[in-house]
Each structure stands twice: as C-alpha cells, then as structure tokens.
C-alpha cells in the first residue's frame, strides 16, 4: 500500500497546488494570487499596502463609511497610521483573534471557554524602495505552555522570520522560519486539511525553518519547500523533509492542483498527497475543495504504515458587501485499509466584516463518528470569533 502513495507523489511533481491566501475564498472577488495582497506569495501572514486597501474597499461593509467618502479615500485610510504614510523601509502590523465556544450546549458535558488564538505583532523591513529584498517577522504571545515545544506560558516568541527576495517577476525566494507549503491554507487550524491532532506541522504552530522557491506565471505557479523543523519544537518531534505545491488556472476564477509532502522526525514519518480546486462562483462567492491521502509510520516499532484519507469542502456565499454565509463539510479516516472510525463534521455560520480591520464569525458545527458496531453520540459546538487586524 505504501507504493500507492508514490503514484500521487509522482503526479504531484508535475501538477501541484499553490497554497491559497489566508482567505482563499476571495477567489470569488477575482483575487486568486496570494502575492497580490500578502508579503508571502503563498498566502498568510501580514498584508501589504495593496492588501490593506483592498480589504477596506471591497471586503469590508460599505455601510460604515459616509456616502460622501469615495472608495479611493477609504483605501487611503487603511494604513497602520490611518492616512499618515510610513517610511518606505518599514511596515508594522498587529493581529488578534479570540474565540468563545460552547461545546455540547445544554448537555451534561457542556463546556464554555474563551480562547486567545492569535496575538501577533508583525515587523517588516525593506532594503530597497521596490521591496525586492525584505525581512518579514512575526512575534507572538503565548498565554499557555505550547505542547511539545520550548515555548513557555506568558512568553513572547518569534513565530516566523524569513528573508524574501524577488529574483524576477516569475521567481521569488524565501528563507527562514515560515509556514510549510501544502494545501489550501484556510484560517481554521482545526480543519482536517490542517491535520490539527498530528505532529506533521500544518497547524498554527507548524512553522518551520526552510527555503522556498516560488515560480509564478499568469496561469500557473509552483513552489518547492525543503524544511528542517521548527526551532521551538523539541528535537525528537522536529519534522524535516520537503513539500511541493502549485496550481493551474483552467479558466478565470477556476484553479486546480495538488500538494505533496514527505517528512519525518525521530518518532514519526509522514507522507501526504492531496488535490485541490477553487472556484469563484460570482462576486464574493466561492467553492473550495481539498482531498487526499495521509500515511503515518511510527518509527521505533514494528507497526506497518497506516494509510488514511481526508476531504474538506467549503463554500462562501456573499449576501451583501461585508456579510457572507460560510459552510464547511469535513471527512477523515485514520486507516482506510481496516475498519476504523469515520469522522464527519458539518459547520454553518456567518462570516462578517462589519467594520474596518474587523472580522466577526458566528457558527454552529456538528461532529459525527461512524464506527462499525459502536454508537457514538454527536458533538455540537457553538462558536463566536472576533478578529482584529491593524
């Protein structure tokens, strides 16, 4: 069965999927290339000046601005100091994301909790006015001990730090600690395509030292990313390996691709392969999909590799500027060769940008576990999320 994984890996060497922006759903607005709005061409992290202006003029609700204020003026007020320009060599940023969730509301095992998910401080430096060479850094604050790392409670740590170099319009280089290049990088780090309960390193603490070569062209792009592990991860858990990721535009607002990743630590070996698709259905509305295989081998034991599967589909439907309905369906199995639990999750809710620099989410999710001969109660969760980006 391990040879089966080699097939999608070989295919992926020729057709592989680019990581989308932190909000890959924005392909519905016609923005399918991450480098348009982000300092990192693979998406995620701080927004550049254009990305800030775009967020204010196209994503945020128009009702909060006076009718006399045109879109150009709105865009000009999106800077860190509102309308006051900063020196060309420096761009700061602040991000906060908090979540209040109720698990199994009104049940005997009800849980109510507020979680500070993100407290980031971006400091980005440029060595020339065209920003061909830049140092991108993010410091984060931890209010709990992060498992399997040396990051202690109540401490600041360097979440990401890397040099970005534009060799040409078609080739960008990144070197330092950053997110791995794999799959659709959606903001929900608990989604199945982010492998939240594993040590593969694709969740919010999955940054890694590495080098990325990003080739980008009008209809396709590809990134190759050898990596060497997160500097804060305990040595025996540190995943080292490579990933390849890219995307091809079939036609406007429709892209397909795939991703491959191979890595291992002293304890675990991982092989991932996935296919992706992104459709822009209409202005502000989109459909995203990712599905693939995951093979885990626990080293130091005589156990065989375990081949599992995952699938993730998400739709965003714009109901008015700044207000959207977000629906997600997820499925995963840890072992497709044996009788193992099938995990399903359905989420539905509101994704809103009611104010400048502000995001609000309200959602309900239902989780199911199907296992032959065993009945497992459904789990429910009600979530409220606030994201401030300055």
pLDDT in tens, the chain (390 residues): 444 444 333 333 333 333 333 478 888 888 777 777 888 888 878 888 888 888 888 899 999 889 899 988 888 888 888 889 999 999 999 999 999 989 887 777 888 999 998 899 999 999 999 999 999 999 999 888 788 888 888 899 999 999 999 999 999 999 999 999 999 988 888 899 998 878 888 888 889 999 999 999 999 999 999 999 999 999 999 999 999 999 999 998 999 999 999 999 999 999 999 999 999 998 889 999 999 999 999 988 778 899 999 999 999 999 999 999 999 999 999 999 887 788 999 999 999 999 999 999 999 999 998 877 666 788 899 999 999 998
E strands along 265-352, which residues? 268-282, 285-298, 306-320, 323-333, 342-352
Written as six digits, the tokens of 241 are 């390996």
Amino acid 300: pLDDT:
81
- What pTM was estimated for this model as a whole? 0.89
Amino acid 350: pLDDT:
97
Question: Sign of torsion, CA 265 266 268 270?
Answer: positive
* Measured CA angle at 22 (ends 20, 24), to 5 deg: 45
**Strand, helix or coil at 190?**
coil
What values do phi and psi take at 324, rounded to 5?
A: -140, 155
């Amino acid at each position: 069965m391990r040879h089966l994984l080699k097939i999608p890996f070989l295919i992926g060497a020729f057709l592989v999927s680019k990581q989308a922006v932190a909000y890959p759903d924005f392909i519905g607005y016609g923005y399918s290339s991450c480098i348009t709005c982000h300092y990192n061409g693979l998406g995620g992290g701080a927004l550049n000046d254009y990305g800030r202006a775009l967020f204010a003029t196209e994503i945020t609700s128009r009702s909060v601005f006076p009718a006399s204020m045109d879109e150009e003026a709105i865009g000009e007020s999106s800077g860190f100091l509102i309308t006051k320009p900063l020196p060309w060599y420096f761009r700061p940023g602040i991000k906060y994301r908090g979540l209040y969730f109720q698990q199994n509301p009104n049940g005997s095992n009800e849980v109510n909790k507020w979680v500070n998910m993100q407290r980031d401080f971006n400091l980005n430096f440029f060595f020339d006015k065209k920003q061909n060479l830049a140092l991108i850094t993010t410091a984060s604050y931890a209010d709990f001990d992060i498992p399997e790392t040396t990051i202690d409670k109540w401490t600041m740590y360097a979440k990401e730090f890397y040099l970005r170099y534009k060799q040409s319009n078609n080739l960008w280089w990144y070197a330092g600690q950053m997110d791995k290049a794999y799959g659709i990088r959606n903001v929900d780090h608990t989604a199945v395509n982010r492998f939240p309960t594993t040590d593969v390193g694709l969740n919010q603490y999955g940054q890694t030292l590495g080098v990325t070569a990003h080739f980008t062209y009008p209809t396709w792009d590809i990134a190759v990313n050898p990596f060497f592990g997160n500097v804060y991860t305990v040595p025996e858990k540190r995943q080292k390996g490579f990933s390849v990721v890219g995307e091809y535009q079939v036609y406007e607002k429709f892209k397909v691709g795939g991703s491959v990743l191979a890595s291992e630590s002293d304890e675990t070996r991982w092989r991932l392969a996935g296919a992706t698709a992104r459709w822009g259905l209409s202005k502000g509305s989109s459909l995203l999909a990712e599905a693939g295989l995951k093979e885990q081998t626990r080293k130091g034991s005589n156990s065989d590799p375990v081949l599992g599967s995952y699938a993730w589909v998400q739709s965003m439907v714009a109901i008015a500027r700044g207000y959207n309905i977000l629906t997600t369906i997820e499925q995963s199995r840890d072992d497709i060769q044996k009788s193992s639990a099938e995990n399903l999750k359905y989420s539905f809710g509101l994704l809103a940008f009611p104010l400048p620099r502000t995001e609000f989410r309200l959602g309900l999710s239902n989780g199911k576990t199907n296992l032959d001969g065993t009945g497992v109660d459904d789990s429910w969760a009600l979530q409220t999320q606030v994201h401030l980006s300055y």
